[in-house]
Structure 1
Amino acid sequence: MEIVGASVYSATGIHANVVTTLANAHVSIFAISTFDTDYILLKWDKLDAALQALRSKGYKVIEYDR
């Protein structure tokens, strides 16, 4: 997953909100943050649960070919 949106400096808490949403759905993640992008890696078998959890919280999720 790639978190896309406002820059890190203007969107305080976005990363924490996404990570909390996934934790509440029992999805373990590995997060990588760069200067301008945050990535969240997760196990393939947890992808559907992660997508469902994020969408239920109103996040717009763009899926690419699986």
Structure 2
Amino acid sequence: MNTRGTLRFRQLPGLFAVCKLPASAPVPDCGGPFLSVTRTQDEVSLVCAQDFAPEIAEVEKGWICFQLQGPFPFTMTGVLSSLLTPLAEASIPIFALSTYDTDYVLIKQEQREKAVSALIAAGHELLL
């Protein structure tokens, strides 16, 4: 099964931060309605509400988050590429996350209008 046609996405409220901690660091309690944690042998990466970003981390602030309307079966291909190709063609950098049910794409706040225009032009739908 592959992606064809319209993907629906919505913008989560608020601003987000992408944070980096040493691999040995405990995961801080970041609170907030959204938190993604990835631990590797090299680092701990967090994505959280900007207001909850830990002070001890290397932090990149000013992201907004688009949530794709899922869930998507694991057999479906092309979900992210369908969304990321128009963003790449518009020269918009992204940070992508996936969960069991869906995908999230973060872009810098100042790129929002350009990103939404590119996604709508590609046939995708912004849910309000």
Give the shorter-chain TM-score range: 0.7 to 0.9
RMSD: 1.4
Q: Quick one: structure 1 residues 41 and 21, their matched pair in 2 at CA, closer, same or farther if it must change by over 3 Å?
A: same
In structure 2, C-alpha distance between the alignment counterparts of 1:7 and 1:56, rounded to whole Å: 22
Q: Secondary structure at the match of 2:123?
A: coil
Alpha-carbon distance, 1:6 to partner: 5.1
Do the aligned residues in 1 keep the contact of 2:71 with 2:102 (CA within 8 Å)?
A: no
Amino acid at match of 2:85: T
Alpha-carbon distance, 1:10 to partner: 4.7
In structure 1, C-alpha distance between the alignment counterparts of 2:77 and 2:70, rounded to whole Å: 12
C-alpha distance after superposition, 1:33-63 (max 9, x if no partner): 1111100001000000000000001101124
Amino acid at match of 1:37: T
Percentage of identical aligned residues: 35
Alpha-carbon distance, 1:3 to partner: 1.0
| TM-score when normalising by structure 1 | 0.84
Which deviates more, 6-15 or 30-39? 6-15
Amino acid at match of 2:80: H
Report the counterpart of residue 86 of structure 2 in structure 1.
21
In structure 1, C-alpha distance between the alignment counterparts of 2:73 and 2:114, rounded to whole Å: 25
Which consecutive aligned stretches of 4+ in structure 1 deviate over 4 angstroms post-superposition? none
Report the counterpart of residue 30 of structure 1 in structure 2.
95
Q: Quick one: structure 1 residues 40 and 10, their matched pair in 2 at CA, closer, same or farther if it must change by over 3 Å?
A: same
In structure 1, C-alpha distance between the alignment counterparts of 2:85 and 2:127, rounded to whole Å: 19
Question: 1:1-66, aligned counterparts within 5 Å?
Answer: 1-5=66-70, 7-63=72-128
Which deviates more, 11-20 or 39-48? 11-20
